[in-house]
Amino acid sequence: MDLDLNVRKEGDHAVLGVGGEIDVYTAPKLREKLIELVSDGEYHLVVDLEKVDFLDSTGLGVLVGGLKRVRNHDGSLQLVCTQEKILKIFRITGLTKVFPIHSSVADAISDSAE
């Protein structure tokens, strides 16, 4: 079990594509990548969760940590997710009120720019 992470630039945004399962074993890798991006001066992040098969509380915690880090630099962290099983985890924990969640990367970037 591994986590696939890839980063691409879209204008002012860094788009982090995540694939695989985010749990207590793999979440540290995601945490390190988010810290690395912020350290490199990327303060407007889009995290694409469309290829994530599983997300647990550790993964949620890492995303919350990423959000707090970019906000310390007046940045933003938008999520892309349309999978009901993943959205359910955000809804149950009340994090749909914390994270802007979009159906596409393009929507996330245009919303962030408004």
Partner 1 sequence: MASSEPALAVVHLEFPPEPALLGTVRLVVGIVARKAGVDEEGVEDLKVAVSETCAVAVGDLAWAGLSTPIELDLVEEPDRFGVEVRDRAPAEHAPSVPEDGEVDDRQFGLALVGALVDGLHSTMLEGGGHSTRFWLRRGLEELPPPLT
Residue 69 in the binding site for partner 1 (CB under 8 A): yes
Please identify which residue in 23, 29, 100, 107 interacts with partner 1, judged by CB under 8 A: 23
Task: Answer positive or negative: Cα dihedral of 61, 65, 71, 76.
Answer: negative
- Cα(104)–Cα(114) distance, integer angstroms: 16
In angstroms, the CA 110 to CA 114 distance is: 7
Among 4, 6, 40, 61, binds partner 1 (CB under 8 A): 61
Contacts with partner 1 by CB under 8 A lie at: 1, 21, 23-25, 31, 54, 56-58, 60-62, 64-65, 68-69, 84-85, 88-89, 92-93
